[in-house]
């Protein structure tokens, strides 16, 4: 378990391959899955599943893994920021589910071509927010731009930690990560 935890620290925000983890630890993929399930039950890690209108396909795709404590994350400021955003979004979603009874979910989205947006909030199965996280890049993410055009009903946001000024480019709002996250419920 200790080796697994160390391995996961550097894989935050990446699609989780149980087979790859099993090979690295020289255990069976089902054992790796059970160990990660235990870490989830103990509230050490949580997973974010991909968004897909077909539930069966979404379950088959690889989830992304995050830590409840961003202090565990290895890989620099960008990964720690993405993990922190994941935790804030998860708490917001859980609050809205528990207090308001909303049918809201936290996912990520990835196309067949490999274009990925860090987070997607959906309500009743429809995308409401597309969220890309950056440490200091205020140029619009190409993946976010593509997904915003494919899902025009969703609010497209690029959260930037070190942002000089907030702006709007086409239909994408580039905003301060801290200010936007502070407005969330919970």
Residue 53 pLDDT level (bands cut at 50, 70, 90):
low
pLDDT in tens, 155-185: 999 999 999 899 999 899 999 999 999 999 8
Confidence (pTM): 0.92
What are the backbone angles phi and psi of residue 54, rounded to the nearest 5°?
-95, 105
Split into its structural domains, the chain has a count of 2
- Residue predicted with more confidence, 128 or 54: 128
**Do 149 and 86 share a structural domain?**
yes
Question: Per-residue pLDDT averaged across 38-67, rounded?
Answer: 83
pLDDT in tens, 55-85: 445 445 899 999 999 999 998 999 999 999 9
Two structure tokens written together for 46: 């949580």
Q: Which of 32, 49, 72 is the last residue of a domain?
A: 72
**Do 85 and 41 share a structural domain?**
no
**Do 27 and 11 share a structural domain?**
yes
Q: Could you list the residue range(s) of the whole structural domain that residue 168 is in? A: 77-182
**Do 32 and 110 share a structural domain?**
no
**Do 158 and 142 share a structural domain?**
yes
Residue 24 pLDDT level (bands cut at 50, 70, 90):
very high
Residue 3, CB-side half-sphere exposure with 13 Å CA sphere: 8
pLDDT in tens, 77-126: 999 999 999 999 999 999 999 999 999 999 999 988 889 999 999 999 99
**H helices within 49-121, ranges in order?**
55-60, 77-100
d(CA 80, CA 99): 28
Q: State yes or no: pLDDT of 12 exceeds 80.
A: yes
Q: Which of 72, 98, 127 is the last residue of a domain?
A: 72
Q: Which of 34, 57, 72 is the last residue of a domain?
A: 72
Q: What is the CATH number of the domain that holds 9?
A: 1.10.10.10
Secondary element (H or E) of residue 20: helix 18-25
**Do 81 and 31 share a structural domain?**
no
Q: What is the CATH number of the domain that holds 175?
A: 3.40.1350
Q: State yes or no: pLDDT of 54 exceeds 70.
A: no
């Amino acid at each position: 378990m200790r080796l697994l935890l160390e391995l996961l620290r550097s894989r935050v925000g990446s699609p989780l391959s149980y087979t790859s983890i099993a090979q690295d630890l020289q255990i069976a993929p089902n054992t790796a899955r059970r160990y990660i399930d235990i870490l989830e039950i103990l509230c050490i890690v949580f997973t974010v599943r991909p968004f897909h209108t077909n539930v069966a396909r979404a379950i088959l795709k690889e989830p992304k893994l995050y830590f409840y404590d961003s202090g565990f994350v290895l890989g620099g400021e960008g990964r720690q920021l993405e993990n922190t955003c994941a935790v804030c979004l998860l708490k917001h979603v859980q609050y809205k589910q528990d207090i308001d009874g909303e049918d809201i979910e936290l996912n990520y989205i990835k196309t067949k071509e490999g274009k990925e947006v860090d987070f997607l909030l959906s309500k009743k199965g429809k995308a409401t927010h597309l969220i890309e996280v950056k440490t200091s890049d205020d140029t619009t993410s190409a993946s976010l731009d593509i997904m915003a055009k494919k899902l025009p009903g969703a609010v497209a946001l690029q959260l930037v930690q070190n942002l000089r000024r907030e702006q709007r480019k086409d239909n994408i709002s580039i905003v301060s990560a801290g200010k936007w996250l502070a407005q969330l419920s919970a």
